[in-house]
Structure 1
Amino acid sequence: MVMHRDSEMHVRRRGRNLGLLVVLIGFIAVVFAVTVVKVRTGGLQEGFDHVLRPQMIEGQTEGASQ
């Protein structure tokens, strides 16, 4: 079996692929961390859904009528 040395192009391509792998793993880790944090808060964060809720009005308590 003859061993041959990789060309410079293959070495550079391998380096780019490893760099891309690190970036993708980092992105997946960030998305996973955000998901875990959101699940652990138990829905304490409210999204902006263009609906006026009583919690948005300052000074108004639950069940108070206007």
Structure 2
Amino acid sequence: MAIKAEHEMHKRRLSRNIGLGLVLVGFVALVYGLTVAKVSELYQPEATSEAGQ
């Protein structure tokens, strides 16, 4: 049985990596959401122009 001692530095690094991963996932979700909104805006000008008349 191998004894593995985990240093405090590893715990801090893990929490930092998890935080950075969550920030990156949030950024990707934001860019994806903006892209979907922009693309859906391109496909709906007919509906908005008819509603205004």
Structure 2: stretches of 5+ with no match in the other structure = 46-53
Structure with the greater relative contact order (CA < 8 A, sep ≥ 6): 1 or 2?
Answer: 1
Which stretches of structure 1, 4 residues or more, deviate above 4 A after TM superposition? none
Structure 1 length as normaliser, TM-score?
0.60
State the aligned residue count. Answer: 44
Highest CA radius of gyration, 1 or 2? 1
What is the match of residue 32 of structure 2? 32
Distance 1:3 1:29 in 2: 41
Alpha-carbon RMSD across the aligned residues, in angstroms, is: 1.4
Structure 1: stretches of 5+ with no match in the other structure = 45-66
